[in-house]
């Protein structure tokens, strides 16, 4: 199987490239301003905001499957339009599409979100991820859309944020809950879905919900850092437009996939 990993230079994209090569797949990965340092991957530069360039690259590579990961937190053209461009190009090439979405498109509530719950975005990033899903589903109803949560592992921004908060350089919310997932587990799940015909939305996150502040404490324990310095705050007190309690129910993925999605307490066990 030939896989095109769009955003192959990102945290998740790099892991998908690495696991794909390990599994003996032919892997082409794209980068924009970064680089892909994964042996065995054919690297190509691509700007997903350039619709013609996306179509040309996909037509040239002729992948069996396309994995779409790109986003920029504050850039609609990349996160929403770019996802649509990739979906159009994949559909034209007859390639299987796995689009990576986010829990950030939910508003937050005390009960977990099911796979098919519609988006209720409260900020521009969530709205862009929701728009991307709508475009992808309209263009290719057979595509798999993976909603995931905080991605942990080597190079994770989430772990770095915890380290910064432990050093007093940032603050972690005590009232923001997520279901972190390991980057390698997620990459394996994405590749499994690329080889399947699963259509539509799927929550792919870990089984344990934690607050960001508790994630900071787990990181302190795991890496032997002093938890006394942990700076915390609340999203509510700051009045931020952020989804607070967003727990993804990944029961369907756990039953469907061979890949075991490990919880954060297992991942960060000392």
Ligand X SMILES: NC(=O)c1ccc[n+]([C@@H]2O[C@H](COP(=O)([O-])OP(=O)(O)OC[C@H]3O[C@@H](n4cnc5c(N)ncnc54)[C@H](OP(=O)(O)O)[C@@H]3O)[C@@H](O)[C@H]2O)c1
Closest residue to ligand X in the complex (CB): 10
Residue 11 in the binding site for ligand X (CB under 6 A): yes
Residue 242 in the binding site for ligand X (CB under 6 A): no
Residue 40 in the binding site for ligand X (CB under 6 A): no
- When binding is defined by CB under 6 A, the residue of 13, 20, 108, 263 that contacts ligand X is 13
Residue 52 in the binding site for ligand X (CB under 6 A): no
Residue 228 C-beta: closest distance to ligand X, Å: 26
Beta bridge partners of 98: 67, 144
- When binding is defined by CB under 6 A, the residue of 3, 4, 10, 27 that contacts ligand X is 10
Residue ranges in 96-115 that form contacts with ligand X under rule CB under 6 A: 100, 102-103
Question: What residues have CB less than 8 Å from 174, skipping those under 6 apart?
Answer: 211, 212, 213, 232, 233, 234
CA distance 172 to 163: 10
Residue 72 in the binding site for ligand X (CB under 6 A): yes
Residue 27 C-beta: closest distance to ligand X, Å: 14
CA distance 63 to 58: 7
CA distance 2 to 231: 46
- When binding is defined by CB under 6 A, the residue of 3, 16, 66, 69 that contacts ligand X is 69
Rounded-to-10 torsion of CA 116, 120, 121, 122:
-150
Which of 34/229 has CB closer to ligand X? 34
Query: What's CA 89's distance to the chain center, in Å?
Result: 21
Residue 105 C-beta: closest distance to ligand X, Å: 9
Which of 204/229 has CB closer to ligand X? 204
- When binding is defined by CB under 6 A, the residue of 18, 38, 66, 70 that contacts ligand X is 70
Stretch that binds ligand X, among 45-53, 207-215, 228-236, 248-256 (CB under 6 A): 45-53
Q: Where are the beta strands (DSSP E) in the chain?
A: 2-6, 26-31, 41-45, 65-68, 96-102, 144-148, 151-152, 172-173, 177-178, 181-182, 200-203, 210-211, 232-233
Residue 204 in the binding site for ligand X (CB under 6 A): no
111, exposed or middle or buried, with CB in 10 Å at 0-12, 13-18, 19+? exposed
DSSP string computed for 58-80: HHHH--SEEEE----TT-HIIII
- When binding is defined by CB under 6 A, the residue of 84, 150, 230, 264 that contacts ligand X is 150
Number of residues that bind ligand X (CB under 6 A): 30
Structure-block tokens of residue 103: 């829990």
DSSP string computed for 197-212: ---EEEE---S--EEH
Which of 116/237 has CB closer to ligand X? 116
Which of 24/40 has CB closer to ligand X? 40
Which of 12/268 has CB closer to ligand X? 12
Interface residues with ligand X (CB under 6 A) are 7, 9-13, 31-34, 46-49, 69-72, 78, 82, 100, 102-103, 129, 148-151, 157-158
């Amino acid at each position: 199987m030939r896989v095109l990993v769009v955003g192959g230079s990102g945290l998740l994209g790099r892991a998908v490239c690495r696991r794909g090569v390990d599994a003996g797949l032919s892997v082409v990965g794209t980068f924009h301003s970064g680089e892909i340092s994964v042996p065995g991957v054919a690297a190509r530069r691509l700007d997903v905001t350039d619709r013609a360039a996306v179509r040309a690259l996909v037509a040239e590579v002729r992948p069996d499957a396309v994995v779409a990961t790109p986003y920029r937190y504050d850039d609609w053209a990349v996160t929403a339009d770019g996802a649509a461009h990739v979906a159009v190009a994949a559909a034209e090439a007859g390639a299987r599409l796995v689009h990576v979405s986010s829990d950030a498109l939910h508003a937050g509530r005390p009960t977990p979100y099911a796979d098919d719950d519609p988006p209720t975005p409260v900020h521009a990033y969530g709205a862009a991820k929701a728009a991307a899903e709508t475009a992808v589903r309209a263009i290719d109803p057979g595509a798999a859309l993976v909603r995931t949560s905080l991605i942990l592992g080597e190079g994770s921004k989430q772990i770095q944020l915890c380290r910064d908060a432990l050093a007093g350089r940032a603050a972690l919310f005590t009232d923001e809950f997520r279901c972190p997932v390991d980057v390698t587990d997620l990459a394996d799940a994405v590749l499994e879905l690329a080889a399947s015909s699963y259509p539509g939305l799927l929550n792919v996150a870990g089984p344990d919900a934690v607050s960001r502040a508790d994630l900071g404490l787990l990181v302190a324990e795991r890496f032997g850092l002093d938890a006394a310095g942990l700076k915390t705050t609340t999203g509510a007190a700051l009045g931020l437009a952020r989804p607070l309690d967003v727990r993804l129910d990944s029961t369907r993925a756990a039953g469907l996939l061979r890949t075991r999605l490990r919880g954060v307490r297992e991942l960060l066990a000392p």
